[in-house]
Amino acid sequence: MKHHSYAMTALILVASLAAWLLSSCSHGSSADHAPPVTVEKAPDPAIVEAPDPEQFPLTTVEQRLTYDELKVNGVVTPDVNRSVPVLSLAGGRVVDIRAKLGDDVTKGQVLLRINSPDVSQAFSDYQKAQADEVLGRRQQERSETLLAKGAIAQRDLEAA
């Protein structure tokens, strides 16, 4: 509403200035020849008048099917409040992923398979220790048999 009253005040001021200029430039008596001052009301700011309205063709409103899609740039990140870190007991390269972001998982479910040199070395060491145990038991049994027949001394049995 303030914009409307400012426009009205400016219009009155311009009209008054124009009347004063016309009266000062005319010859003779300023009261006899001054044109009457008319004040025009400012139009509604919601109405726009175009000088050549034919250049803007009219069309009818129609209903169209649209898609609920908005193409924008952005970054998608997981919700850190709902994320649980999964810790691996050994490092290595992931060779098979069995769960993806957003899947429901349960306790004990296999999420991924890792090819780990550390685990491979540990498993190899474990198998070697098992083989060494079997060999050690055989040597002990042989030494007990030899001791029973008097072929070796007690200290050789203890060493075996």
pLDDT tens-place string over residues 41-96: 777 777 777 778 788 888 888 888 888 888 889 888 888 887 777 777 788 888 99
Higher pLDDT, 46 or 139: 139
Secondary element (H or E) of residue 85: none
Q: Is 125 in contact with 133 (CB distance < 8 Å)?
A: no
Question: For residue 3, which of 43, 39, 49, 51 has the smallest C-alpha distance?
Answer: 43
Sign of CA dihedral 9, 12, 14, 16: negative
Strand intervals (E) in 57-119: 93-97, 112-115
Tokens 């992923």 belong to 97
Q: Is the predicted pLDDT of residue 132 greater than 90, yes or no?
A: yes
Count of positions (residues) in the chain: 160
Higher pLDDT, 133 or 67: 133
Residues 6+ away with beta carbon under 8 Å from 160? 139, 140, 142, 143
pLDDT band at 135 (very low <50, low <70, confident <90, very high): very high
Amino acid 43: pLDDT = 72
Q: Find the angle CA(74)-CA(79)-CA(81) to the nearest 5 degrees.
A: 150
Question: For residue 113, which of 136, 90, 130, 81 has the smallest C-alpha distance?
Answer: 90
Higher pLDDT, 31 or 37: 37
Q: Is the predicted pLDDT of residue 13 greater than 80, yes or no?
A: no
